[in-house]
DNA sequence: GTACATGCAAATTATTTGCAACAGG
DNA sequence: CCTGTTGCAAATAATTTGCATGTAC
């Protein structure tokens, strides 16, 4: 495993990501970080997100039909995806160790490290907007 | 919503997908379907997977660092991703309605339609191979 | 016959990579 | 200094799309 240097670019990318709860895309981060480092390149953002994920300081979220999103909170927790506006939010439910235990007892030949759960539906804003349209 | 025709291409794509439990990629399906329809194009496979998903006859699975995979079983159920070999398998655990109810009571302003859960770890084959390498 | 669907190829989107110059420890 | 990292641009991978033609109903 190669050594990792503490570059200004990486520091700022991490700080910006930790400072938002919007679960942004690489491109959104690129735009934000450009305010601090105007000549940073998108490639650098991607490379650093890769490194930070490797170091388990952040996590990557993937969902059908959109680019990857990143979460500055590396702790396992659940997410909600709004099918209408694409917003991603944290879910206020504790991680279920029980699920992993249930998995383990049903499928004992497997080694399970954990699970990811994403809820989907309609966020409060979109729900309201839809009701008003009727 | 446009009318959907029952084309030979779509029939075969669906049949091949329903006939495997490997949760294949679009490209894998394309290769398989070519045995039946030699001059089918990859674009047609993608377009039909889109239509079938729309009709809720299949579902799409997405995971960091790999292309989309498709599942011929539209019923909500959980999946296991092997971090070593990339294999995707169905999990023998019932869908937890309870989770959706818990979500609903914690976050009542949201409309929740369901959730997806993917376990990750090491499949029996890879687990065994790793043990032997030690 | 009408419109949805196809094959083909080109386009688009998201992400990765080669490389020479730069900079952290 | 040494080697990881950057900016830039070009390359790749995955998926989507325009269009003339084909075909289901």
Give the pLDDT confidence of B30-56 residue by residue, as tens digits: 999 999 999 999 999 999 999 999 999
Architecture of domain A76-134: 2-Layer Sandwich (3.30)
3-class SS string, B3-15: CCCCCHHHHHHHH
Region A50-73 average pLDDT: 91
Q: Convert the pLDDT of each residue in A82-127 to its tens digit.
A: 999 999 999 999 999 999 999 999 999 999 999 999 999 999 999 9
Among candidates A123, A104, A118, which has minimal Cα distance to B111? A123
Give, in order, the Cα–Cα distances in Å from A46 to each of A27, A29, A36, A119, B62.
Answer: 9, 10, 17, 26, 19
Q: Residue B19 above 70 pLDDT?
A: yes
Where, residue-wise, is CATH 1.10.10.10 in chain A?
Answer: 1-74
pLDDT band at B11 (very low <50, low <70, confident <90, very high): very high
Whole-model pTM: value is 0.92
pLDDT digits (tens, 9 = 90+) for A6-30: 999 999 999 999 999 999 999 999 9
Domain covering B1-74: architecture: Orthogonal Bundle (1.10)
Strand C near-CB residues (< 7 Å), B 12-71: 37, 39-44, 47-48, 51, 65
Q: Which two tokens stand for residue A62?
A: 């993937």
Q: Is B118 within 8 Å of A121 when comparing Cβ atoms?
A: no
A38: which 2 tokens? 């105007």
**In sequence order, which ranges of chain A are alpha helices (DSSP H)?**
8-18, 26-36, 42-54, 97-106, 124-133
């Amino acid at each position: 495993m190669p050594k990792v240097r503490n570059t200004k670019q990486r520091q700022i990318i991490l700080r910006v990501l930790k400072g938002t709860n919007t679960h942004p895309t690489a491109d959104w981060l690129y735009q934000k970080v450009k305010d601090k480092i105007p000549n940073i390149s998108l490639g650098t953002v991607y490379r650093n997100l890769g490194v930070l994920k490797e170091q388990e300081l952040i996590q990557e979220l993937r969902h059908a039909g959109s680019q990857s999103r990143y979460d500055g909170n590396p702790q396992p927790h659940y997410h909600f995806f709004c099918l209408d506006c694409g917003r991603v939010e944290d879910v206020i439910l504790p991680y279920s160790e029980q699920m992993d235990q249930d998995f383990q007892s049903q499928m004992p030949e497997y080694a399970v490290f954990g699970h990811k759960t994403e809820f989907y539906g309609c966020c409060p804003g979109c729900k309201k907007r839809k009701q008003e349209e009727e």
